[in-house]
Every structure is written in structure tokens, then in C-alpha cells.
Structure 1
Amino acid sequence: MSKILLITLLTDKKVYLVTAAGGVFSEGAYAPFDFQTNYLLHVLGFIGLTDVELVRIEGTVFGPDAAQAATEKADAMVKSLLAKAA
């Protein structure tokens, strides 16, 4: 069996990953079921993108107030990340 050498070409790049979910998967009992984030981080890492800032919009299924709060939290985080990047 031959070995395959992988050379990643996208190193030293910053990635801003925004995910959205109706439930809360970042912590608590449902954290082990967060397949979305783990999958995307794995795929990005496979092509060499390992410097990832994660912004989550989650818990939106719990009503309009929760959705608004989640959106505002994510918006504040994005603004903070953009300020650091500038």
C-alpha cells in the first residue's frame, strides 16, 4: 500500500466561521451532538486552515427574544473580530 503525502496550500490564513443552530450545542447536554462545528473545523484543517475564529448563533428555536439575543451576541462578536483584524 502506498502512502499519500498531503501538502496543504492554505496555511497562514485566518478563517471566520459563522454557524447557526436552533438548539444550543456549544455547551451542556447537547454539546456531544455538535457535528456541524466539528465537521467544518476538520474539513478546514484538512486543507490547511487552522486559525479559525468561531461565531455561533444558537438557541434561536426558543422564541423571538432568544433569537434576537443570539443575533445581537453574534453581531457584537463579529464587530469585535473585525476591529481586531483592522
Structure 2
Amino acid sequence: MTATGGVFSEGKNVPFDFQTTYLAHLLGFIGLTDIEVVRVEGTLVSPDAAKAAIASTEAQIRAALERAA
């Protein structure tokens, strides 16, 4: 799970998503290559955007847990 105040998964900021690429590389170094990224992003856009981002992330986590079960 990653959390950012801005949006880095799409648009002009994609090249600046250092966090996700770094974590994927680090986890791959220790042998964890089958990862699923769950993002909470855009939380500094507005209070409503933060609430929506958190709700979306909760849904993503639930879906990932169901797939893993």
C-alpha cells in the first residue's frame, strides 16, 4: 500500500512515481515479485477527494483479500 497527497498513477505525474517503483524493486530484491499495488492517492486535493480515495482503497483491499482467500 502506498499513500500520496498527489496523484501519481495516471497523468503527467506518472514519471515521478518513485515510491511504487522503489518498493517493487526492493521487494523484488528479496524475492517478492508477485505484488499488487494498492494506492491511497490524491488525499491533499480536497477533503472530499481524500474520503473518496480512502473508500476506493478500502474496496481494493477487500477485493485483494477475496482473491487471496
| TM-score, length of structure 2 as denominator length | 0.97
**CA separation in 2, counterparts of 1:70 and 1:20?**
10
Please state how far the C-alpha of 1:69 moved relative to its aligned partner: 0.4
**Which ranges of 4 or more aligned residues in structure 1 deviate by more than 6 Å?**
none
Higher strand share goes to which structure?
Answer: 1
Q: Give the SS at the match of 1:36.
A: helix
Matched, 1:73 2:61: no
**Match for residue 59 of structure 1 among 39, 42, 47:** 42
5+ unaligned residues in a row in structure 2: which ranges?
Answer: none
Amino acid at match of 2:67: K
Whichever residue aligns with residue 83 of structure 1, its letter is E
For 1:13, the equivalent position in structure 2 comes to none
Q: How does 1:3-14 map to 2 (within 5 A)?
A: none
Matches within 5 A, 1:36-47: 36-47=19-30
1:22 to 2:17 alignment: no
Cα deviation for residue 84 of structure 1 reads 1.3
Using structure 1 for the length normalisation, give the TM-score. Answer: 0.78
Counterpart amino acid of 1:32?
A: P
* Structure 2 residue 65 is matched with structure 1 residue 85: no
Aligned-pair Cα RMSD in Å: 0.5
For structure 1, the residue ranges without an aligned partner over 5 or more in a row are: 1-17
More helix by share: 2
Measured after TM superposition, the shift of residue 85 of structure 1 is 1.2
